[in-house]
Structure 1
Amino acid sequence: MGRISWMVVSALTLAVIITGSVLYANNVPSVDEMFVDIDHQVKEAPDRIIAQGPDFEIYSKDFALFKANLAFSEKMNNVTIDMTDKDIIHEMIKEALVVNLAREEGLFVSKQEITDYITHLRELLDDPEHDPAMKQIRDNLVKMSGLSEDEYWESEELAQKYEKALLIQKFVRKLAEEGQIRGAEDFANFKDKLLQKVKTGIIYNV
């Protein structure tokens, strides 16, 4: 399986499961239809770098996936996310900067932590009491991976995505414990400052 399909498989897992419960909006396409559309958008995107700095590179296919995820979240949760293409690129850069900074400060996520987290998610989604929409999303993710369900959950690509997500969670806790942030708004401001520090050195190719 190529990089594109794995990005769909892993990033959608993060975008949907970690953000919270899923709600159906009125007159929206089915989950299956939205997954087909996302896969098409990512595959059609050119494979090139659209923004880069000293410690990060943003690829057009990753950008297409991020943008498709936002549209998916809007439809499933019946909300409007007002972000321009440049806003999306900057959000991706900020995530990369946070991950880099967390690692520089000595934070890390063990393989056992990743395994435990994935096991918890899998058990949650297998619970018959859980939102059936989430099971449908899970089934689509596995189907698109081309793997068996066990292979999907045990894949290295998925583990790498959750490693970054858990690393960011640890970094947020560290900032809170140190009194640098008190909530989501403070963390957003913290990320904005990280971006401002490197903004003059960003090379765009869009």
Structure 2
Amino acid sequence: MGGEKPMKKLVISLSAVVLACSAWVFYSFATEEKSDIFRSLSAELKEIQATKDRYIAQVEHIGITSGEFQTYKAYMRANQQLNNRKDELSDSELLKDLIIEKLLLLEAEKQGVAVSLEQARAYSDEMRHILESTADEKAKAFQQQVIALTGLREDEYWEKHAPEAYKSQLSIEHLLNKLVQDGVLPNASGDPESFQTAWKSYKDKLYESRSEQVKIFIDDIQ
């Protein structure tokens, strides 16, 4: 496997789909003048890691910790800066997006398309091999920056962190593909705008229909 598509999936970060996309944005826009954003993000992540963690929400049996949420928020803020976007999502909007991600994972399991950790490990090994074999030195250097942000050694990243992230990413991708095949969503290649509208509507309806299975434990994010 080679080419643009697998390279996009190489630079994954901390939280499944959204952060995988964010990491690719980092790669696409990473230039010398953007390095201060990376340094700021690195400092913020270290501060988050040094802060006592607690559960702030639960989606069925899946817990969301303050550390996971703050990490998600930090990546999204950096993503906004790299895209020169002035609009900023509120904490409640960001938490909703993170909750929807968990609901999508549960739906993937329900529909029998979730990826196992063993499959994710095999995929991680494949992506690592592609990265090590590529002649794109910028991609290699950028991946090292992504790994450094996690605070892990390279082997730890590929053997533990990456498989977990790919498990989430691929499970949601498989769910999305099934929804297209079943006619629930339109094909993105035919009409990307209609697809995005339908995908957003699907996620919003999923959130509303599963609201009783979602618990938020803090008053300042509702």
Q: Quick check: TM above 0.5?
A: yes
Check if 1:128 corresponds to 2:120.
no
SS at match of 2:175: helix
Instruction: Spell out the pairing of 1:4-153 with structure 2 (5 A cutoff).
Output: 10-11=14-15, 14-17=20-23, 21-24=27-30, 28-30=34-36, 32-80=38-86, 82-110=88-116, 113-126=119-132, 127-129=134-136, 132=138, 134-143=139-148, 144-147=150-153, 149-153=154-158
C-alpha contact (below 8 Å) 2:56/2:65 kept by paired residues: yes
Percentage of identical aligned residues: 21
Gap regions ≥5 residues in structure 2: 1-11, 187-194
Q: How many residues align structurally?
A: 195
TM-score, length of structure 1 as denominator length: 0.77
Query: What is the rounded CA distance, in whole Å, between the counterparts of 2:162 and 2:182 in structure 1?
Result: 31
Amino acid of the structure 1 residue aligned with 2:144: D
Q: In the TM superposition, what whole-angstrom CA distance separates every residue of 1:12-39 from its partner, at most 9, and x where no partner exists?
A: 9724445685214795443651342232
TM-score, length of structure 2 as denominator length: 0.72
Residue 77 of structure 1 deviates from its aligned partner by 3.3
Q: In the TM superposition, what whole-angstrom CA distance separates every residue of 1:136-182 from its partner, at most 9, and x where no partner exists?
A: 432134344342x3443122x32122111100000000000011012
C-alpha contact (below 8 Å) 2:120/2:163 kept by paired residues: yes
Gap regions ≥5 residues in structure 1: 1-7
C-alpha contact (below 8 Å) 1:52/1:58 kept by paired residues: yes
Check if 1:181 corresponds to 2:185.
yes
C-alpha contact (below 8 Å) 1:41/1:65 kept by paired residues: no
SS at match of 1:202: strand
Summarize the Cα distance change of 1:116–1:52 in structure 2 as closer, same or farther, 3 Å threshold: closer
Which residue number corresponds to residue 202 of structure 1?
215
SS at match of 1:22: helix
